[in-house]
Amino acid sequence: VFIVKRNASLTAEQVIAHCRKNLTGYKVPKLVEFRDELPQTNVGKILRRALRDEELAKQKPA
């Protein structure tokens, strides 16, 4: 899950614990990544494809 962090004390463990408490098991994120901002279109929608492409680029062996 990608999160724009506004609270400096927020941790990945807190996010996962909150999700475990309030979501079904298969919806709980395995990884949490904090970012300053998310890529958006001109209209303001989140560019999920750009996030996916960045993650795939990280996973590819160089």
| Domain spans, the chain | 2-59
Cβ neighbors of 28 (< 8 A, separation 6 or more) are 16, 19, 20
Cα–Cα separations (whole angstroms), residue 61 to 19, 25, 32? 31, 31, 22
> What is the end-to-end Cα distance of the chain in Å, rounded?
24
Per-residue model confidence as pLDDT tens digits over 9-48: 999 999 999 999 999 999 999 999 999 999 999 999 999 9
Q: Which fold has domain 2-59?
A: GMP Synthetase; Chain A, domain 3 (3.30.300)
Q: What is the pLDDT, as a whole number, of residue 37? A: 94
Query: How far is C-alpha 12 from the chain's CA centre?
Result: 10
Q: Three-class SS of residue 34?
A: strand
Contact 51, 40 (CB under 8 A): no
Q: What is the pLDDT, as a whole number, of residue 15? A: 96
